[in-house]
Each structure stands twice: as C-alpha cells, then as structure tokens.
A and B are shown apart, each in its own frame.
Chain A
C-alpha cells in the first residue's frame, strides 16, 4: 500500500504555487494537510503526475478579520482554528463543528481549506461554511475570485475549482447579534464522517419571532445543502417551530443511500438533528439578547 511515483514540487511562495498549478493543471494534486489526499495516494486511488506541496507558503496561513468577515488561510490547521479565540467569538458555528472533525492528531495537520477542496459530502467544515453563506477565495495566475460556498460544491468530491486554481482562503461571515448557532451530527463512532450532520443559524427578534434562519444539512445529499425555511421567518422561535421546520426540511430532502444508512434513516436524521440544532440555536439567540 504505497503511492505510485509522482513528481514532488514544493512551492515556497504563492507565485510559485500558482506557476506550478498553471504548469500541471489537472495533473497536479495540491498537498495541504494530506489527511484526505494521503490515504488516496497510498491506496493508489489518486494518481497525480505531480504533488504541489503548498505547506511552506506563508500567505496561505493565518486567521484575520477582513471587513465583515473572518478570513482563514487555506492552510489554517483545524487545531489552530479550534484553539482560536477569534474563531470562537466571530464564527461560533465553526468552533462548534471542529470538535467533530477527525481526531486530535488529524486536526493537528488537517487544514480548513483542504477539507473544503476535498468536498466530502458529510464533512463538517464545508457544511459550516455553506450554512453561514461564506465564500471560498480562489487564485490562479492573474485572477482572484470569491465563490459563494453554496455554489462551490458540485457533488461528491467535486467543486467548481478550475484545475489551475488554488483555494487560498475561506471567508466566514462574522457572528451577528440576536443570532444563535448550533451544530450536531450522528456518526457510528466519534470522529467518523457523519451519517448525517446539521448546522443551524437563527436570528430571533426581540419579540421572540424568527428574523432569519438557516439550516444546513451534511451527509444527507451529495453536497452540503440548505433547507429552504424562509416561510418560518416571523414565526415564534419555539421548540415546536424547530421540529416543524426540521420536518419540512426532511420532507424536501432527497437523501443518499449507502451501506451505512438508508434514505429513510437519513430522512429521520434530518428530523432529529434538524430539530435539535434549531432549538439550540433559538435558545442561544435568546441568550445573546440578555
């Protein structure tokens, strides 16, 4: 179980990385933390001609506030984001999602950008980004663009990233007042990819009615999806609303079926997890008003 031969290319600067991406295009695989790429290389399921190691590129790391967003460099290690007070304060949903990501040892190396690029449909970081309406920042030689997370994922292990593009950062909308965040998932074991995951963002007006809400679902369909729950704006933020909203989300979901779980079970997880995270988000939104 050893990787097939490849050319190793170490980029020391962002420009070098972009030059290598331009040179190899789809023949290259970008090596960040290697937590997903590594196993695929070892099993020879991925056979790139070249590996572009971007780990030395300083421009790709860091956590910083940029306007109304928190920007995390693509190479930001999951462990660093988990430890970051800035992330905790500004993007509580990500802080809540990160403990579910892999394990202590994989978070030490695994990156936020790598998880988003890998686009596993049940991964937590893409779900958090999509639920918050964040952006993925992509660079190629001569061009930078921001793609909304909700249009970034194209299906299982598929994104709109061009072969010569590099994800350089993720932009996370900063937490808002009157707003609560909650994340939960069901997996057979701790640290496994979720069978189903749910993330909720709810803004509750002073009158106790919902001003906005968003429910993201992971592991249910082939990419993170947002349940259309606009109809619940103006409705009281109660446990009953949470379960009604989750039931509607379940009704509209079109779940996958695989050896771990049937579509019916995933429907059920949307109901259970959806209600759970919405209710928690409602409570937290309420708590943030005091």
Chain B
C-alpha cells in the first residue's frame, strides 16, 4: 500500500543523485573547513594484549614536517574515560594508556604536514611492549582462570543479567518436545566504502571544540563526548559532512576518535584532519558482535510454541563502548518475534576479549537474535514432523490482535503475518520448490528450503539500553524514555522553502522523502524544496536521539517533518484566507498556490503569501507572528520508560519480514548456490517505492555476506586475519542471488503517514534463512555461518545428507 498524496508514495527519483553522479557531492575528505589543517596518523598496537612499557617519540617528533606527537598517556591526562550503561570499572580512553587490549588499538598520534609524512613518522616511534596472554576464545574468557582484560572488573564477564517473562520453567516442564541449538555467530561488519573521517579544531578562551565528521549519531553520544572532554554541550560543536559514504551503523563507532582528535587539537594547538584508511578500518573501527549463543524452544505436539529460553554470550571486544550493551537489548522486548508465545527467559552475558570493540551494524542485534529464534522454529518443525511454514502459521500473532503488547513490553503496531507468509510461499511457488526438493533428493542432490520471519523494530526508545541496569539501578539513575525526532521548515523572504531534517543520512534518500512530504503539505513539488539533512549541534534543532540508525526516519523523523509542514501550511492558509476573504478551512494549497476549495481561479501564489510573512508583518492576520521558521519536536508517546518488571516498548513501529531461501549445495566443492530467495515485507505505507526497494536489496546484500562470506577472523593470538579487502570478503555483483520482493503492507497507527521504518530488512534474516535451507539440505542442525566453501564441504564430507 502506498501512502496517499501526490508525491508521497510515488517513485520520485532522488534529489540527491545529480550531485552524486557528477562528482559534485562533498564528503568529509573533500572538506577543508578551516585554514591551517595538519594531518593525523595513528600508530596502532601490533599486539592483542600487552603492557606498554615505554614509548619513545623523540625521533618521530624531530622528523621534518612533523608538528607533534602524542601518546595514550597524553590523551588520558587530558580527557576523562568514556562511560557506558554498564556500571563496571572499565576505563575506556580513545587511545591506549598503559596497556593495549586489541591489535589495532591506537597508541600514538602524529600530526604532520600531510598523511605521507605522518606515516613516515609513525615508523620512528619506538614502543616497548610486554606481551600478555591473549583472551580470544569467548568461552574460555568466562573461565575464572582466564587472564583478565580489565583487572578492576575481576572477570571478563562485564555484564550478566537474566530476565523472565511469563512462566518459562512451567512451559518447558509441560512441553511435548524441546529443541536446543548451540552455535557460533560470526563477527562481521558492513564496511562502508567511505571510511571514518574528521576535522577537529580547538579554540581557547573559553575552551571550545568544533568537529566536522561523518559521525552518524546517535547524538546521545555527544553528551558522552562532552563528558570525556569536560566541556558543556554548547562548547562541543559537531557538524556532519553534507554527504556520508555509507554507514550502516558503523559510523557510530567514530565517536571515540572524535574525542581523541579534539583533545589532540587542543594539546597540539592546531586543527587536525584524520581520514581512516582501509587497513585501520578493518582492525580499528567497529563491527557487529560475534556470539556463542544457545536457544531452547518448548513445543506442544501440534507445533504450538509455548516457551523460549535464550542464552546469549556476546563478545563485546576490548571495551564496552557506548551504546553497548544495546546490541543485546535492541531486540529484547520483542523476544517473541512474530509469535504469540508468552513464556520467555533471556540470559545475557557480555564478555570482554582482545578484539575490536563492537557497535552498531546493520540490523543491530537482529541477525543474532533471529538466528536463534528462527533456527529453533525450523528445528522444532523437523523434530515434530511439521512443515516449516505450517509451524509458523500456527504460532503467529493473529492479525486482529494488533496493537499487540509483547511479553517483554514492545507494542507491535500493526501486521498481518499470515498474509505475509502466504505471499512469500506464493512468490516462491512453494509447492513446486518442495517437489523439486523431492526430485533432487531422489537423485542424491543436496537441496534445501529454509524460511525465516522477523519483526523489524524501528524508531528506538532511548531508554531500552537501561535494561542493562536492574530496576533498582534505573530508579536511582532517574527516569529515561522516548526518542525525539526534529525538523525545521523555514521560508525565506523570496517565499521558497527549506527543510532541515537533522537526520544524517548515508544514502537513504531522506532529502527526497522529506521533500515529498513537504511538497504534499504545501502544494509544491519536491523540486521546489531544498532539504538540508546534516547536523550542526550549534544551529540545528536536535536532541539525543538525532542521527540515522534503528530505521528511525520513516518511523519518527517523518512525524516531525509532518508536524512542521502542517504548521507552515496552516500559517500560509490563514494568511491567504484573510487576503481572499474566506475561512481558513476553505483554503487549500495546491499547484504552487493557495486557493479557494472548489474555486481554483480564486488563488494567490504560494510564494507571495509566504513571503508576506517577511515583507509585510503588519498585513498579517491579527496576532500572527511574522516570518516562517517552524521547528517540530516529537517523541512518540508509545516510548515510555522500562517498568519494574523490565518491560519496555523499545520501538515505535514493528514491520514484518518473511524470507524464503532455497539452496543447492555442490557436494564436490561445498558451494552453496542460492537457487531462489523471496522476501516479503510489511513496511506500512510506502513513502517512496524506489527507496524502499533499494533498502531491501541493500539489506539483502549484507545478509548474504553474513550468511556466506563475511567474517572478521582473528587467530588464536588475537591477530586480525581479515585486515584487507582481499581478506575480508564483501559481496560483489556476481555473488548476489536474485531477490524476489513482495509486500503485504499494513499501515502503522503509530506514525503520521502510516509508514514503518524498514532499513534493516533482510540483513536480519538472510543469515538464518540461508542457514535453515542449508540445514535442510544437509539434514543436520549444526550450522555456523558464514557458510564458506571449505566449511560447508567439511559438513558434507562429515556425512551430511538429506535423509
């Protein structure tokens, strides 16, 4: 279903594109916002775990073209540690001081006339390390005998909480059948093609910082940066670049580097630019978590899912970097997925290891969570002799149950999951696929079918991360709730319209969709409207939820755009009504004019009416304020605080996804050939079908990568083995299976236009859908992605075979 309106819902080509296809668009490395910039390069630890005995920077500092060298000790002396929601004594500084905890951790910074010289000087820094035993194996890290990353914590388990909803123990006691699965989920990253980049400038009297970067938010991290730099918020000005070259969550993880560069700019007395290179990115930016998870699912013989137990063991890497531990809590309050199960327990362990700290990555916690739930559903179907579609159908939340309060607190807004499943089966021609599987098996071929379903949370409640704290700790800390979206619409004296979305997109077409919404509200065309999407914390209307993550644009930001547009429209209509001597209700804005409904020849040009607010304040309706500069700030009312039983509405909208994968495995080489892949989405009302489809296919590519190719591998000593793009295997065009997309869209009652956020999409489901199909093909349940050639062949050679 498309949202109503002349522009909203239409496949409007993007406003952003012309600058991007002609090379005119500006990214952070194109910017020289202040004179006198020097270029920073970072020396990084070659060891996963080591004590820094000494650092001698004298030769580097004396190198021609070098303006200064700083070590971790210098930064630690000039900043405060960056906190997280987990209250443990982990001092996280952006540069190692005293001890390095992952290979790639920064240990020194050089500022030089250019990057070449800066890198020359890095080679002149002499660091003496005393290697310590690396902590790499996640299970061994939890052992009491394990070496510790953070001695003051007393354990590598930095966070441990257990949650219970309903009566899971009873459900398991009374179950006809219980399935349990254990697996390893790999660490991978969406590796945007543009790396991190920033320019930081310190100015004294009073001390203040300005940082230009491709940071994506969430701007709640601004507060943490202020804390680390010990300045009030109005003296840390963050400005985002006009364009960002992809993010997928990863560019959240730049924020410690912003602290580092800000502090270095102050200590060295010069503006600094740092552009992360690809090698740095692959060892030192951010990634999703690798996990050692298990799930138990209780079923009745008829396939009814009666209980779930999740055992999540998350490798957070060397530090708990905010907003972690959010990755394990984002899906928490939707732990029932698309199903009506009421008895759920969740045990979360976050473990520090000598790997890169984790952070946001597309699907944030979703790929890991749905791997558990949807592998369990499929294993349950096989154990019970039920069809994989039928077992889901029997457990779906029925369409008349919405809005639906999930056991852990999420409020699902709208859905028709059974229709979504049926659509997927229809698009896949499920009956034929099953027949094909039957024939293939008779011929001894390895053919399998897998399904997966998901709810897609969008527009995060900033309070969900406080589930990491006990209700008592939360009470002591004071209340938290909400997730603000903001938008400013202004009209200049010429009568033209500018929209500021403060949404830091990285390719999601926010400018286009905002222009569509405002064009409809004001009777203009998208081409008439200029949209500014970047953030400037000194001049934008922003809040701590600002940024581009958790699918928040179509679930939250559009609410603010709509509100602001409505206010502007009302003002213009009120002026026109008085000038045309009718009631405001009789004025419509259309075709660039304010006109009387039903009498289109009685009209005034929009520009002229709007400009009047500047040119002729005395001629405005009585009591009306001059000018047009409308800022709307919204926080969806559904997003309340967590209650004392750890229930919270974690997101505004919950889309639905149903994926079906059919694979054939070459027993000779272990190659998994995705023969068919169908994905059906409920994104609510579609705002722009071009962009929706682009997001779905893009998410699919990340999911396929996670399923088949991508992994950040570390050896037993903690050396990263995926340090180049020849070793970290991003999906390329020949590897992409064809994707068949379908829609069963139910409008959301929680959003202004009935839309739901939808950017995670198949990134959450392709890993499990493909794993389910491989499990079906091989007739075994021990499936750990990524399903690379050698790994799958090992499973085949180990006797796997449908039987």
- A residues sitting closer than 8 Å to B (CB atoms) are 1-5, 39, 43-44, 186, 188-193, 195, 259-262, 264-265, 268-269, 271-272
Contact = CB atoms under 8 A, between A and B. Distances in A.
B802 interface: no
B735 A190 contact: yes
Given A262-B790, A268-B668, A191 B732 contact: yes
Given A2-B115, A189-B735, A272-B669, 20 more contacts: A1-B280, A2-B116, A4-B123, A5-B120, A43-B724, A44-B119, A186-B671, A189-B729, A192-B726, A192-B729, A195-B790, A259-B713, A259-B715, A260-B790, A261-B789, A261-B790, A268-B668, A268-B669, A268-B797, A272-B668
B278 A265 contact: no
Contacts of B735: 189-190
Interface in B769-803: 788-790, 793-794, 797
B279 A1 contact: yes
A189 B793 CA distance: 16
Choose among B277, B668, B671 the residue with the greatest number of A CB atoms under 10 Å from its CB.
B668
Contact of B119 (A2, A195, A260, A265): A2
Name the 6 nearest CB pairs between A and B, nearest first: A1-B277, A190-B734, A272-B668, A265-B790, A2-B116, A261-B790
Contacts of B278: 1
A177 to B, nearest CB: 32
Contacts of A260: 788, 790
B625 interface: no
B789 A186 contact: yes
Choose among A5, A195, A260 the residue with the greatest number of B CB atoms under 10 Å from its CB.
A260
Contacts of B280: 1
Contacts of B277: 1
6 contacts: A2-B116, A186-B789, A188-B709, A261-B789, A262-B794, A264-B797
Contacts of A272: 668-669
Interface in B653-707: 668-671
B723 to A, nearest CB: 9
A259 B711 CA distance: 11
B20 interface: no
B721 interface: yes
Nearest to B721: A259
Given A259-B713, A265-B794, A268-B668, A1 B119 contact: yes
Nearest to B119: A2
Interface of B: 115-116, 119-120, 123, 277-280, 668-671, 709, 713, 715, 721, 724, 726, 729, 731-732, 734-735, 788-790, 793-794, 797
Contacts of B721: 259
Contacts of B668: 268, 271-272
Contacts of A265: 670, 789-790, 793-794
A188 B669 contact: no
A268 B713 CA distance: 24
Nearest to B709: A188
A44 B794 CA distance: 37
Contacts of B789: 186, 188, 195, 261, 265
A4 B767 CA distance: 41
Nearest to B793: A265
Nearest to B725: A39
Nearest to A196: B669
A187 to B, nearest CB: 9
A133 B48 CA distance: 46
Contacts of B797: 264, 268
Nearest to B735: A189
B729 A269 contact: no
A156 to B, nearest CB: 15
Nearest to B278: A1
A118 B100 CA distance: 36
Contacts of A261: 789-790
B759 to A, nearest CB: 25
A106 to B, nearest CB: 12
B119 A188 contact: no
B445 to A, nearest CB: 15
Nearest to A190: B734
Given A2-B115, A5-B120, A268-B668, A189 B790 contact: no
Contacts of B713: 259
Given A265-B793, A265-B794, A268-B793, A189 B734 contact: yes
B39 to A, nearest CB: 10
A189 B278 CA distance: 20
A186 B115 CA distance: 39
Choose among A2, A3, A43 the residue with the greatest number of B CB atoms under 10 Å from its CB.
A2
Contact of A186 (B123, B669, B715, B731): B669
A43 B279 contact: yes
A218 to B, nearest CB: 16
Nearest to A259: B721
B125 to A, nearest CB: 14
Nearest to A47: B123
A189 B116 contact: no
A3 B116 CA distance: 7
Contacts of A269: 669
A189 B729 CA distance: 8
A188 B788 CA distance: 7
Nearest to A103: B732
B273 to A, nearest CB: 14
A47 B713 CA distance: 27
Given A1-B119, A1-B277, A265-B789, A189 B669 contact: no
A44 B120 CA distance: 10
A208 B697 CA distance: 51
Nearest to B276: A1
B763 to A, nearest CB: 19
A188 B729 contact: yes
Nearest to B715: A259
A261 B715 CA distance: 14
Given A262-B790, A265-B794, A269-B669, A190 B732 contact: yes
Nearest to B666: A272
Contacts of B123: 4, 44
A80 B119 CA distance: 37
A189 B120 contact: no
Contacts of B732: 189-191
A43 B279 CA distance: 8
A130 to B, nearest CB: 23
B22 to A, nearest CB: 21
Contacts of A3: 116
B170 to A, nearest CB: 46
Nearest to B727: A259
Contacts of B734: 189-190
B755 to A, nearest CB: 36
A263 B694 CA distance: 41
